Chains A and B, each alone.
Chain A
Amino acid sequence: MSHAASPLAAFHLIGDRSALESSSQAPMQFRPALFGTYHDLSTLRTDYPVVLVTTPGGSPWVKSLSDIIDELLQAIAEPGTGGEETRRQVLAQEQAIRSLVAGGQEGTLSQLWERAREHLVHTDGEPSAIDGKLDDKLTSAFDAIPLDGEIIGFDNRLAARLVTRAWQESENLRSKDLQKRIGRLAQKLSDILKVNHMHSPGARQPGELESAMGSGNSKVFDFEAMARILKTAPVAEPLPASRRKRIQSAIDTLDSQRFFHSNSAPSKSGKSPFAFAFSECGEALKAFRKRLPEMAALVKAISVAELEIDNHYSESRHDHFFKEFSEHQLGPRDLELFPSYLIETGQVDDQVQEEILQILRAGLPFKIVAQTNDILGDDSLAGGQLTFGTQGQQLARMALGIDQAFVLQAAASSLYRMNHQVLAGVSTSGPALFSIYCGAGYIETAAATESRAFPGFVYNPESGRNQAACFSLTGNPAQEKDWTGHELNYENPDHDYETEHTAFTLVDFIALAPQFSRRFACVPRAEWGYDLVPVSEFLGLSGHARVDKVPFVPLIDSDNVLYRAVVDERLLDAARRCLTAWHKLQEMGGINNSHAAAAVAEAKIAWEAEYVPPAVQPEPSPAASTADPAPEAAAPKPAATITPEPAPSSDDPWIETIRCTTCNECTQLNDRMFSYDGEKRAFIKDPDAGTYRELVEAAETCQVAIIHPGKPRNPDEPGLEELLERAAPFM
């Protein structure tokens, strides 16, 4: 046992630093040891920056720069050494773009490509001939990239911009469909009015005739004469005035709607189209409510149009309904037609949280991005629990309870990898909440997910009817484990290489936040002893096993020197609660289900109690199997045997109705005796409605030979002997 154990234990248990060696410092300049590998983050090939693709047709809506470059190299650089130069140059170009974005430059991929290219070509200092070649190479490489769009790096606005782009993508698709439908309906309605007009006497006036024929005909054609001739032709019945009015009013509503607009065709009403992106819940709700009457009018116009076009509008059936129709009758299916509302709230306070939950509960088609930048808070509590992470996670957890809302919780660093889920969220018909954590930088943000401080999950109520179909833990590393594990490689004082397996826990994440430094005591290598146990391991120890042990996390100082930082009991308690919360999430995601575990254990006990080893059973004798049919009931019957239907008694005439080909032969012979059923297949309706002779003749003429005449019903019918002989083949 190390000589420093007791003072460290005192620090761990009650935070008493007084007895600590002066070398055991509070970690002001310290970072988690695993961060030692990352020196210059701007050169790290992470998922960011990404391109928000705006190239139409077939492209994904978002793509990371590294994915774009990888695919580009696949396409243009030949494998092996031949493509080496191209790979090096294009990767250098990628680095240059990364640096530009990290330096705050904005623009599209093509613009930044251009700037980076100029930078590379002109600062490389290589001779100009090579510069020229590089220049050409990079220009032609860019031409091989099939997409373009704004390129954005990892910053505080990333989540909002990403979700916004996904929302636009989904809304474009939706609005395109509906716009097409509305345009088609309006066109068809106008066609009805046009045909009506063309059938009217007015359309046969010389002027109208001339304009219908087009200019240039006036000299060669006498429209006066044509009008005189047509006057005598009969005109069609005009549309009733009520129908015309109804159609015209539907056209007007369709034409003047402000929910969908295309850039090519501005709204015919001249009013500007509605906007659907908001920064406050209240504003969005107000706009939504104000537009409800217009929504109802449009839904009504669409319904009327569809009925009119199919000629299904019945005034007696529909007038009353449409007269009463207002926004109160709009159902979720109707709301689905309309654009959804995007709300990007800033930090969520209690009031905003209440508004968000109210929207989610109401099932309104709002897509809400709520971002939090601080999940640790300050270290100000007196005696209570540290509430790490709970502020940020509370909203999404409450939203989960609402059940009908799509909920995505994620650190901003995971969003690119979760882009399908993001798109699914903005495309659902109901409300969606995106609860995002974004820290100071990419690594710090990713660390929140890595340490379970801010785990990711998706709940999509449209994916199915049960938890397994709806809930997923995507976005978390090592989903089935408590913590994520890593190899920590370092050099020891003897310059030997050492590898240690270490878990990245909540406490490691907290070590990033300077406000908690007083809760760590860093022990230099010289003082490490067996009493120091990693936090992940310490959490699993029973009370007894903990005696004389203190938990630590590995930290490094600004010179990358490794320390073991002992942590106080409060932090450990926070880590314990974080793990419990993670276990619950795991269960929701189908990992380590506690109900299932209990059920399996129970079943096992029951099975062990009842299990009797099978005795060798004798072959059942045939007699036994008929005498006792019960065990046989479960045995599968041979599939080929088909029990024949008992044929009707051959005394009565009958038809194999199912084989009748509706040839009319028998029904023409005697339609009181032979008749068709609902499927137009013949059957014998009344055997006494004709003679036996007719039955036999029918049997003979039936091409399919399915009529069976049976026995004569009247023994006095003449010529029976001969008839019976003829009937014999059909018995």
Chain B
Amino acid sequence: MSDSISHCMLDLAEEEYTIEDYQSAVPRWCVGCGDHGVLTAVQRLCRDEKLPPEKTVFVSGIGCSSRFPHYLKTYGFHGLHGRALPIAQGVKIKRPDLHVFVIMGDGDCCSIGTAHWIHALRYNMNMTAIVLDNSIYGLTKNQASPTSPVGQISNTTPRGSFIDPLNPIDVTLGVGSASFVAQAVDWMPDLTHAIIQAAFHHRGFSFIRVLQRCPEFMGHKYDDWVQNPDRMLLLKHENGLKISDELGRIYRNQEIHDPSQRNRAREIAAVSDPIPVGILYRNEDIPCYEDHQVSDVMNTPEIVDTYLQKEFDKYTINPPGAPA
């Protein structure tokens, strides 16, 4: 026998899953919404990695994209607008055994949630964060977001948005302890699947921006890229994504990019046509916050009680009539 008893016993209990095991309610996103394809890619990942549904959590904020957890038969937390990350961090710190995923919209992550985003990068906790970036507030029906292009007409920018959009990849690469940064597009599902898989296997905070079509409010923004594979730029490397022959035949515009090269990553991030997709940056050596936070003390009720009592003992409340 080469393995320990408990391993053998757990193997005996290991289950095989199908995509259906992770499907929950029928998605209520608009027809043609890019979120559908990302959901499928995520469900495929769960199946391929045999993630036990009871050991997997999807945390989201508020937005169309944030409805994601409803469509997965795992644990989920549909949180507050902009606050998905702190909730996910709380889950992870208390339950490091769970697989934690975070789903955010561009408004969710890059507008109201910016502070949490920057610090989540800095903390580098082991989880996978996906930003579904449709460059608009979808759920609240058409307001400009920080990633809306100049000239975008919306309810809040009736004469067109006039300040330059923020590039989430560039901002992320600007935080020194960012350890995994990738860009995907919803209309290349196999690649999205491969990127999410690499992100899942990365130990640390993985950040994936997915350019997402919102036919409802952004019309045909990405049509030219969707229909013309030559306007996509695939980033590949032996330490990054390996492109299957099948995919390589369709997307012939490819660049060999070493994900350890941060400066080159920033140059690539600045390109918007062709749209670069793949792993821009990865560094396995950045420590996770959890690693610094190891405590030998277990949070048993007794320990919690002792600590609380100690704190309470710092104050004395004199009942009326008692000597001061």
Measured in the bound complex, the distance between the Cα atoms of B34 and A65 in whole Å is: 67
Give 1 or 0 for each of B248-268: 1 = CB within 8 Å of chain A CB. 111010000000000000000
**B6 close to A302 (CB less than 8 A):** yes
Tell yes or no: B106 within 8 A of A by CB. Answer: no
Measured between beta carbons, the chain B residues less than 8 angstroms from A663 are 31-33, 36-37
Tell yes or no: B86 within 8 A of A by CB. Answer: no
CB distance from B119 to the nearest CB of A (A): 28
**A662 close to B9 (CB less than 8 A):** no
Please classify how large the interface on chain B is, using the bins under 10, 10 to 19, 20 to 34, 35 or more. 35 or more
Closest chain A residue, CB of each to CB of B9: A303
Closest chain B residue, CB of each to CB of A296: B5
Residue from A310, A329, A337 whose CB has the most chain B CB atoms within 10 Å: A310
Closest chain B residue, CB of each to CB of A639: B256
CB proximity to B under 8 Å, residues A273-322: 299-300, 302-303, 306-307, 310-314, 317-318, 321
Stretch at the interface among B138-146, B183-191, B200-208, B281-289: B183-191
Closest chain A residue, CB of each to CB of B244: A658
Measured between beta carbons, the chain A residues less than 8 angstroms from B318 are none
Measured in the bound complex, the distance between the Cα atoms of B172 and A409 in whole Å is: 53
Tell yes or no: B3 within 8 A of A by CB. Answer: yes
Contact flag A329-B298 (CB < 8 Å), given A645-B249, A679-B44, A703-B32: no
**A312 close to B31 (CB less than 8 A):** no
Closest chain A residue, CB of each to CB of B246: A658
Measured in the bound complex, the distance between the Cα atoms of B37 and A704 in whole Å is: 11
Give 1 or 0 for each of A61-87: 1 = CB within 8 Å of chain B CB. 000000000000000000000000000
**A680 close to B43 (CB less than 8 A):** yes
Tell yes or no: B161 within 8 A of A by CB. Answer: no
Q: Which of A332, A642, A656 contacts B252 (CB under 8 A)?
A: A642
Contact flag A703-B226 (CB < 8 Å), given A331-B3, A333-B4, A333-B7: yes
Tell yes or no: B2 within 8 A of A by CB. Answer: yes
**B246 close to A645 (CB less than 8 A):** yes
**A331 close to B5 (CB less than 8 A):** yes
Contact flag A307-B9 (CB < 8 Å), given A176-B296, A333-B3, A662-B189: yes
**A180 close to B296 (CB less than 8 A):** yes
Measured between beta carbons, the chain A residues less than 8 angstroms from B44 are 679-680
**B3 close to A704 (CB less than 8 A):** no
CB distance from B133 to the nearest CB of A (A): 16
Measured in the bound complex, the distance between the Cα atoms of B189 and A472 in whole Å is: 51
Tell yes or no: A171 within 8 A of B by CB. Answer: no
How many residues on chain A are close to B (CB under 8 Å)?
48
**B5 close to A642 (CB less than 8 A):** no
**B10 close to A306 (CB less than 8 A):** yes
**B13 close to A331 (CB less than 8 A):** no
**B4 close to A334 (CB less than 8 A):** yes
Contact flag A704-B227 (CB < 8 Å), given A656-B250, A659-B250, A679-B44: yes
Measured between beta carbons, the chain B residues less than 8 angstroms from A330 are 5
Q: Which label, helix, strand, loop or mixed, suits the secondary structure of the A interface?
A: loop
Tell yes or no: B149 within 8 A of A by CB. Answer: no
Tell yes or no: A374 within 8 A of B by CB. Answer: no
Tell yes or no: A35 within 8 A of B by CB. Answer: no
Contact flag A184-B246 (CB < 8 Å), given A299-B5, A705-B226: no
**A658 close to B227 (CB less than 8 A):** no
**A333 close to B2 (CB less than 8 A):** yes
Q: Which of A299, A318, A644 contacts B12 (CB under 8 A)?
A: A318
Measured between beta carbons, the chain B residues less than 8 angstroms from A313 are 13
**B1 close to A329 (CB less than 8 A):** yes
Measured in the bound complex, the distance between the Cα atoms of B208 and A35 in whole Å is: 69
Tell yes or no: A661 within 8 A of B by CB. Answer: yes
Give 1 or 0 for each of A150-184: 1 = CB within 8 Å of chain B CB. 00000000000000000000000000100010011
Measured in the bound complex, the distance between the Cα atoms of B55 and A314 in whole Å is: 18
Tell yes or no: A675 within 8 A of B by CB. Answer: no
**B3 close to A661 (CB less than 8 A):** no
Tell yes or no: A566 within 8 A of B by CB. Answer: no
Measured between beta carbons, the chain B residues less than 8 angstroms from A331 are 1-5
Measured between beta carbons, the chain B residues less than 8 angstroms from A662 are 36-37, 39-40, 189
Tell yes or no: A664 within 8 A of B by CB. Answer: yes
Tell yes or no: A660 within 8 A of B by CB. Answer: yes
Measured between beta carbons, the chain A residues less than 8 angstroms from B249 are 642-645
Give 1 or 0 for each of B1-32: 1 = CB within 8 Å of chain A CB. 11111110110110000010000000000011
Closest chain B residue, CB of each to CB of A302: B6
CB distance from A618 to the nearest CB of B (A): 36
Q: Which of B12, B52, B247 contacts A658 (CB under 8 A)?
A: B247
Q: Which 7 A-B pairs have the closest CB atoms?
A: A661-B37, A331-B1, A312-B13, A303-B6, A333-B4, A662-B40, A680-B40
> Could you name 8 residue pairs across A and B whose Cβ atoms are closer than 8 Å?
A310-B52, A312-B10, A317-B13, A331-B1, A658-B250, A662-B36, A662-B40, A680-B19
Interface residues of chain A, those whose CB is within 8 Å of chain B, are 176, 180, 183-184, 187, 299-300, 302-303, 306-307, 310-314, 317-318, 321, 325, 329-334, 336-337, 642-645, 656, 658-665, 678-681, 703-705
